[in-house]
């Protein structure tokens, strides 16, 4: 179970949208050319790729920004790009993701691009376009000034260093100094053997090879490497050090002790971009007020999702929400949602490819008929939302003696069932308005109904969904239970 799950879900569903995060670093364009190899060229001993698809994605620091945007954060980007076709492609992609490029400086150098040629999922060649020259001093000073100005307007800063010349010692020092004065955390993804340029940062997030380069300790000597890392943390005044350890997960070294978060990936297709995802989620979580352990666990979960994809693909809100809300994995209290939150969650589930089922009822005294209905509902999809009549609604429908169990207690009981993914109360006599808001893929009703008599059937079917009828379990109802409880014992004996 993820620590602070309630706070995490609150952030994912609407809290991240309040956060502004600045990414400063080496901006790139990642281009992918995909196809199939069926033969070797007669001209040279090289494979011949039959072109099938081509697409572009923001890379480097721009991919970090895309991860933040995928979480819903207000994202600002600073760095260099040239006046070329690659810059035009990046502008379109970043604008579509609503990433603010106010901190980006036009450079005399070309926009960095990396073209990966892929045979299905296997990379067979990479073509890099970049200059070995340093950016002119005037351009670097302009970038520094813009970044320092933006630091005071954000909740966190990420330095995404790909060692391409943007994050000079002077630029890093100025940004970290400004951030510390403003009380803004700074997280660094390093690509240098000298961590002193990041002194004063909140955390540095190296992988094992990067940490080995910085300490001189071989990457396979894990214990010695982490001990050397702790020395680096103290020398350079890092609040804590975050070490990504590939298939082993993430280890955090901190002043109050170390902890390890095991890897969560089920199947690894491509690790490119995983580090960008980790630092983006970590920064957003810390900016959102989560504890360090919670932030690391969430970042680890996100990394496990993106390495299951091919290419540099950022994380998305709906993927994390879907991963965090299996019915058996969260507490009952986390499933009880108001209308706004259940609408957000349904939207995220659907974006993640889930099939959303809706059913409703009073569920006053839980019995085997209810359990059967809910278990049958789950057969029609992957997420079940239960609309629960509020007390006032039941009183109007069934009389002043009902409900027997109050709405808060009923909601808690229903949310405790493994078959139920979300519970939402409605005050109206019917759930029609709720159905229109949630737009479920499948509407299920138990009892002697026909599809035409189910409330909301026209809306669901009109959107391409379907309605299912589950037969009732004979002899089981709340009314029968109440009757049995209120009938004198001698009458039970005579019947």
Binding site listing for ATP: 207-210
Task: Say how many residues make up the chain.
Answer: 495
DSSP, collapsed to helix, strand or coil, labels residue 35 as strand
Beta strands in 302-380 (DSSP E): 356-361
Helix axes 5-13 and 317-324, enclosed angle (nearest 10): 150
**330 phi, psi to nearest 5 deg:** -125, 160
Distance CA 164, CA 139 (A): 14
Is-contact 361 393, C-beta < 8 A?
A: no
Write down the catalytic residue from 100, 161, 276, 421. 276
Pairing between strand 250-253 and 259-261?
antiparallel
Question: Which residues does the annotation place in the binding site?
Answer: 207-210
**How many helices and strands, by DSSP H and E, does the chain display?**
19, 18
Evaluate whether 118 touches 124 at the Cβ level (below 8 Å). yes
Q: Is 276 a catalytic residue?
A: yes
CA–CA separation, 367 vs 423, rounded Å? 17
Is 68 within 8 Å of 75 (Cβ atoms)?
yes
Q: Would you put residue 247 in left (φ > 0), alpha (ψ -120 to 50) or beta? A: alpha
- 491: which 2 tokens? 């009458």
The catalytic residue positions are 276
């Amino acid at each position: 179970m993820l620590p602070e799950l309630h706070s995490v879900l609150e952030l994912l569903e609407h809290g991240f949208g309040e956060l502004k995060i600045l990414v400063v670093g080496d901006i790139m364009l990642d281009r992918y050319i995909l196809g199939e190899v069926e033969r070797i060229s007669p001209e040279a001993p090289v494979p011949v790729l039959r072109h099938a698809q081509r697409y572009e994605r923001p890379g480097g620091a721009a991919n970090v920004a895309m991860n933040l945007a995928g979480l819903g954060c207000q994202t600002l980007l600073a760095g260099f790009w040239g006046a070329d076709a690659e810059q035009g492609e990046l502008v379109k992609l970043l604008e579509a993701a609503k990433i603010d490029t106010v901190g980006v400086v036009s450079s005399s150098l070309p926009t960095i691009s990396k073209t990966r040629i892929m045979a299905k999922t296997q990379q067979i060649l990479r073509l890099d376009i970049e200059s070995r020259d340093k950016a002119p001093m005037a351009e670097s000073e302009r970038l520094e000034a813009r970044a320092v100005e933006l630091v005071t307007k954000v909740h966190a800063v990420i330095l995404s260093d790909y060692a391409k010349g943007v994050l000079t010692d002077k630029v890093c020092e100025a940004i970290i100094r400004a951030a510390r004065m403003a009380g803004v955390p700074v997280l660094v993804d390093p690509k240098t053997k000298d961590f002193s340029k990041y002194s004063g940062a909140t955390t540095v997030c190296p992988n094992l090879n990067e940490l080995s380069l910085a300490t001189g300790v071989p990457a396979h000597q894990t214990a010695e490497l982490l001990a050397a890392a702790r020395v680096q943390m103290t020398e350079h005044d890092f609040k804590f050090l975050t070490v990504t350890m590939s298939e082993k997960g993430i280890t955090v070294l901190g002043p109050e002790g170390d902890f390890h978060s095991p890897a969560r990936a089920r199947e690894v297709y491509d690790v490119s971009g995983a580090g960008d995802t980790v630092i983006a989620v970590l920064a957003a979580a810390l900016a959102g007020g989560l504890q360090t352990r919670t932030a690391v666990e969430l970042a680890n979960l996100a990394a496990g999702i993106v390495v299951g994809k091919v290419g540099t693909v950022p994380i998305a809100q709906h993927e994390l929400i879907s991963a965090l809300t299996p019915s058996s994995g969260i507490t009952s209290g986390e499933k009880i949602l108001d209308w706004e939150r259940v609408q957000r969650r349904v939207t995220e589930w659907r974006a993640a490819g889930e099939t959303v089922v809706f059913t409703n009822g009073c569920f006053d005294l839980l019995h085997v008929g209810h359990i059967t209905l809910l278990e049958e509902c789950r057969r029609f999809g992957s997420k079940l939302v239960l609309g629960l009549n509020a007390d006032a609604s039941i009183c109007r429908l069934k009389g002043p003696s009902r409900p027997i169990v109050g709405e808060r207690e009923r909601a808690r009981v229903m949310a405790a069932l493994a078959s139920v993914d979300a519970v939402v109360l409605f005050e109206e006599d019917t759930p029609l308005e709720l159905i229109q808001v949630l737009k479920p893929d499948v509407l299920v009703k138990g009892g002697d109904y026909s599809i035409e008599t189910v409330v909301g059937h026209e809306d669901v079917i009109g959107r391409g969904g379907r309605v299912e009828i589950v037969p009732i379990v004979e002899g089981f109802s709340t009314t029968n239970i109440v009757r049995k409880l209120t009938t004198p014992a001698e009458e039970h004996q005579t019947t």
